[in-house]
Structure 1
Amino acid sequence: MALPPSLDLDSLRERLLAGDRAALARAITLAESKRADHRAAARDLIDAVLPQTGTAIRVGITGVPGVGKSTTIDNLGANLTAAGHKVAVLAVDPSSSRTGGSILGDKTRMAQLALDPNAFIRPSPSSGTLGGVAAKTRETMLLCEAAGFDVILVETVGVGQSETAVADLTDFFLVLMLPGAGDELQGIKKGILELADMIAVNKADDGEGERRANAAAGEYRAALHILSAPSSSWTPPVVTISGLSNKRLDALWEKVVDHRNKLTATGEIAKKRRAQDVKWMWALVHERLHQRLVGSPEVRKQTAEAEAGVARGESSPAAGAEAIATLIGL
Structure 2
Amino acid sequence: MRLIKTLTGMLLATAAMAMAAGACETTLKSSDTHPDGYPTVEAVKAMSKSLEERTDGRLCIEIFHSAQLGEEKDTIEQTQFGAIDLNRVSLGPFNNIIEETQIPSLPYIFRSVEHMHTVMDGPIGQEILDAFAEHDLIGLGFYDGGSRSFYNKEKPIKSMEDLKGMKFRVMQSDMFVDMVSALGANATPLPYGEVYSSIQTGVIDGAENNWPSYDTSGHFEVAKYYTLDQHLIVPEVLVMSKKSWDKLSPEDQVAVKAAARDSVPVMRELWVAQEKKSEEKVRAAGSEIITDIDKTPFIEAMKPVYEKYVTSEKLKDMVARIQATE
TM-score scaled by length of structure 1: 0.23
Q: Which has the higher contact order (CA 8 A, sep 6+)?
A: 2
Structure with larger Rg: 1
TM-score scaled by length of structure 2: 0.24
